[in-house]
Amino acid sequence: MGLIPAAQGKGVGKALMLWLEENAKLSKDENVFICVSDFNNEAFQFYQKFGYTKCGHRDDLSIEGKAEFLLRKRLS
């Protein structure tokens, strides 16, 4: 998920995360996984506030020379 700068800090991201997690629960999913770039500290901190933790990483996935962190939140 990414938001244009004009939408940031207005609760849009929070609303989307709550919607995503609620729909995952309705689907009886036990986990939600998110990928975030290693240099995107602001997004990583945002996801941490929702209880997401690192569970893996992948080098050169989106950008050569950069890593992506795989984050997970257990819903059950």
**CA-to-CA distance for 46 and 12, rounded, in angstroms?**
12
- Position 1 scores a pLDDT of 62
The per-type count for the chain, helices as H runs and strands as E runs, is 2, 3
pLDDT number for residue 4: 87
In angstroms, what CA-CA distances link 56 with 3, 69, 70?
24, 6, 5
pLDDT of residue 76: 80
Question: How confident is the model at residue 2, as a pLDDT?
Answer: 78
Q: How confident is the chain (76 residues) per 10-residue block, as mean pLDDT? A: 84 93 91 94 94 95 93 93
Residue 3 is predicted with a pLDDT of 84
